[in-house]
Amino acid sequence: MKRMGVCVLAGLLAVASVGAMAWAQATTAQISGTAKDQSGAVLPGVEITVTQTATGAKRSAVSNETGNYVLASLPLGPYMLEAALPGFKSYVQSGIVLQVDASPTINVVLQVGQVTEQVEVQANAALVETHSSGLGTVVDNQRVVELPLNGRNVTELVFLAGMANVGGSGFLNSVRNYPTVMISVAGGIANWTAYNFDGVAHNDAYNSLNLPLPFPDALQEFKVESSALQAQYGVHASANVNVVTKSGTNDLHGDAFEFVRNGIFNARNFFAPKRDTLKRNQFGGTLGGAIVKNKLFFFGGYQGTIQRSEPTQNTAYVPTPAMLQGDFTTFAGPTCQARPLTLAASQGFVNNQVSPSLISPFALKVAARLPQTSDPCGKVNFGLKTNQSEHMEVARLDWQASEKHSIFGRFFVTNLNIPTTFDGSNALTLSRNGQADRVYALSIGSTYLISANVVSSFRIGANRQEIPKVTDHFATWPELGVNAPFNPDAEPRITVAGGNVGAAGAGNTGGGGNGFNIGGGNAIINSDYGGPNPNISEDISWVRGSHQFGFGTSYIHTGLNYKSGINATGVMTFNGNITGHGMADFLLGKPITWAQGNIQSYLYNRQEYFGAYIQDSWKATQRLTINYGLRWEPFFAFKNKHGWFDHFDMDLFNRNVHSTVYPNAPAGLIFPGDAQWTWGQKSIAYNRYKIFAPRLGLAWDPKGDGKMSVRASAGIFTDRGALYSMSAMAQDSPYGSVLTVNNPKVEDPWGSYPGGNPLPIVL
């Protein structure tokens, strides 16, 4: 994988160098200011040059007729600024450190003298942004690396912004996305936060939460911006989180690390009888340097995580040896039941005993795959494994092609492996899928100076997520003696519930009102594929007089392919309606229901995004900056590859109008193909083009000394939603049809259905 990533980077960097492309928003910084003489008069024609001290990269600008200058789209890091004008002493300021999306003001005061004379200024103190109306928090490299993080998940550092908290509904963070932390910033919805990774959108295709980020040692820094966002920011309506990876420098640098948690180092919870048994090893390293000094740089890193912990304990109730011989007297009595019961005589029970010949061969085959118990009520305890491993790799190249043109490329891949809970012998441990999640993220950017006052920036990238589910099998339906001709090799799902008997009360040992479940999540034939989701953006910065104009566009394609077979596996339920208790129903082979449906491929959803903006940062006076702009964000409706949508219309319902596509559907429910369906065959909404988002902000330096900034802002923001919101309709009938047979024969559940097995259902 490392070799492939480097090859991809090299090839795409070559493509990127062909055109005049450049940076994309939120991964760079800029310096601006005014050049004056000692009397306070502005000085046009001053040559301003900044040098990134770690790489030797230079950038120059010339102050205009108002004395203003702007150096936009600068890579992050330490800088030295030089200013020169004939008749004045040279000005040198060092110790400037640019952070992500920073925009410090550095005014230059030149003294009369010879150019060969020099005035040096040290500026190691933090620089206050006096012309930006936005509010944000930068988490710099030192904090990223040195702050303790449980699991080294850098996403949690977003909480340092001081306006973030855990938020969002639990269904957002599901098995259909790479595990993450749901974070609400400044009161916004958790999946309305835009994550940008080296300038490329980095949100999950399914639920729009963030995709995984690299480990701390591979990150330079990131910034959380919560309000007063300028018009160049869009896609989502809440905050922006801008993340930047490290780059190589002229000096070779790197690190190696291992972080360990185990019984030796773990602290004991005050209320726990023993120490936490979690064992986690996180190890890896980084290396960066120059391939060609001052020209071509590399950076790469790897982190591996291996985590082991004690199985989580669970309880179930299985048939006892006595029950397998037809004797339910103890199980049905006060020892095990809060309310003793009498099992149905109509099913052959006499004094809660039944002939062993009536025990179903199906039940015996299932019971042979369950743990044995000596408890009179059938109680068993078992553990579910919670082990996992993760591997992250990141590679980056930076090329300073010339003083006017720089290019970078970055490739990131992470693999999360979570085995199933099945231990190979106990069918009860088939309760959760395993996962083999993978995320790929590519970003290519280039900065090109069209002129001293115009910078064109371009960014292209893509991400892809693969969430295949790993399953295990304890048996198939035919191996259990069940005729299930549709999808016979599926993992059986069996539910044995307590029926009409409550759990054991105080003093009772068993709790025999409960039963057991086999299958659950592990019966899913499931695979999710998000992407590749390309992201292209172009931004231009143009300085003219006291104005810094910006305009640009961005495009994102989002796609999600999801295939589920959970309904196709078949579910057999025993609930006590036949004999008076679910366990007795099970042993006699008397299910209450059998349910099965199609293998679904329903989440083939797509959406396009396009945004364009124009903005201006106007330095109205030396102490007042006005930022204003307008963003255009048309809404492009969700689409489904199969057109699996439906819509309920109350007016049609009142008029008893039925669908012509599916005449058996209830009145008022229409589908693509019906005359009343006006949104197209593969959509359920109209595109909306008249969506504009104005932005206005003020930044005022009250004393004019650059030590204080007063800000005010207002704006309109929109969000495009997430693809999961379209999934529910694709599960409606007839697309997600599940057929149920009541009181089926255990050996042939479709035998009593008219015409026999109806699957697959053809739409």
Is there a domain that residue 288 lies in?
A: no
Q: What are phi and psi of 651, to 5 degrees?
A: -65, -40
Which of 122, 140, 159 terminates a domain? The answer is 122
In the chain, the number of structural domains is: 2
Q: What pLDDT is stored for residue 509 in this prediction? A: 37
Query: Where does the pLDDT of residue 172 fall: very low under 50, low under 70, confident under 90, or very high at 90 and above?
Result: low
**Could you give the 3-state DSSP secondary structure of residue 13?**
helix
Q: Report d(CA 474, CA 365) in Å as an integer.
A: 11
Quick one: which H or E segment has residue 322? helix 321-324
DSSP string covering 60-127: EEE--TTSEEEEEEEPSEEEEEEEE-TTB-EEEEEEEEE-TT---B--EEE-BS-TTSEEEEE--SPP
DSSP string covering 299-318: EEEEEEEEEE-PPEEEEEE-
pLDDT digits (tens, 9 = 90+) for 396-428: 999 999 989 999 999 999 999 988 888 888 999
pLDDT of residue 1 exceeding 50: no
pLDDT digits (tens, 9 = 90+) for 228-282: 789 999 999 888 999 999 999 999 999 999 999 887 877 777 787 777 788 999 9
Cβ contact 172:189 at 8 Å: no
Is there a domain that residue 519 lies in?
A: yes
CATH number of the domain that 83 lies in? 2.60.40.10
Q: Report d(CA 184, CA 205) in Å as an integer.
A: 18
pLDDT digits (tens, 9 = 90+) for 525-578: 555 676 789 999 999 999 999 999 999 999 999 988 877 777 788 999 999 999
Q: What pLDDT is stored for residue 508 in this prediction? A: 36
- pTM of the predicted model as reported, rounded to 2 decimal places: 0.86
Is there a domain that residue 679 lies in?
A: no
Q: Which residue type does 409 have?
A: G
pLDDT of residue 4 exceeding 70: no
The mean pLDDT value of the chain amounts to 86
Is there a domain that residue 625 lies in?
A: no
Cβ contact 609:636 at 8 Å: yes
Q: What pLDDT is stored for residue 602 in this prediction? A: 59
pLDDT of residue 743 exceeding 60: yes
The half-sphere exposure of 312 on its side-chain side, counting CA atoms within 13 A, is 9
Q: If phi over 0 gives left and psi between -120 and 50 gives alpha, with beta otherwise, what is residue 423?
A: alpha
The 10 Å Cβ neighbour count of residue 361 is 12
pLDDT digits (tens, 9 = 90+) for 428-437: 988 777 888 8
Q: State both tokens at 442.
A: 């590519």
Cβ contact 494:572 at 8 Å: yes
Strand order in the sheet with 738-742: 516-518, 493-496, 571-574, 593-597, 738-742
pLDDT digits (tens, 9 = 90+) for 608-650: 999 999 999 999 998 899 999 999 999 999 888 888 888 999 9
The 10 Å Cβ neighbour count of residue 595 is 17
Is there a domain that residue 350 lies in?
A: yes
Query: Where does the pLDDT of residue 194 fall: very low under 50, low under 70, confident under 90, or very high at 90 and above?
Result: very high
The half-sphere exposure of 348 on its side-chain side, counting CA atoms within 13 A, is 14
Q: Report d(CA 300, CA 247) in Å as an integer.
A: 9
Give residue 14's domain range: 2-122
Is there a domain that residue 419 lies in?
A: no
Which of 91, 122, 153 terminates a domain? The answer is 122
pLDDT of residue 510 exceeding 50: no
pLDDT digits (tens, 9 = 90+) for 377-386: 999 999 888 8
pLDDT digits (tens, 9 = 90+) for 294-316: 999 999 999 999 999 888 889 99
Q: Report d(CA 166, CA 163) in Å as an integer.
A: 11
Q: Which residue type does 2 have?
A: K
pLDDT of residue 668 exceeding 50: yes
Q: What pLDDT is stored for residue 175 in this prediction? A: 61
Q: What pLDDT is stored for residue 423 in this prediction? A: 84
- The residue length of the chain stands at 763
pLDDT of residue 523 exceeding 60: no
Q: State both tokens at 330.
A: 């103890």
Is there a domain that residue 709 lies in?
A: no
Range with lowest mean pLDDT among 73-77, 78-82, 122-126, 127-131: 122-126
pLDDT digits (tens, 9 = 90+) for 316-369: 999 999 999 999 999 999 888 888 889 999 999 999 999 999 999 999 999 999
Q: Which residue type does 282 have?
A: Q
Is there a domain that residue 99 lies in?
A: yes
Does residue 734 have a cis bond before it (omega within 30 degrees)?
yes
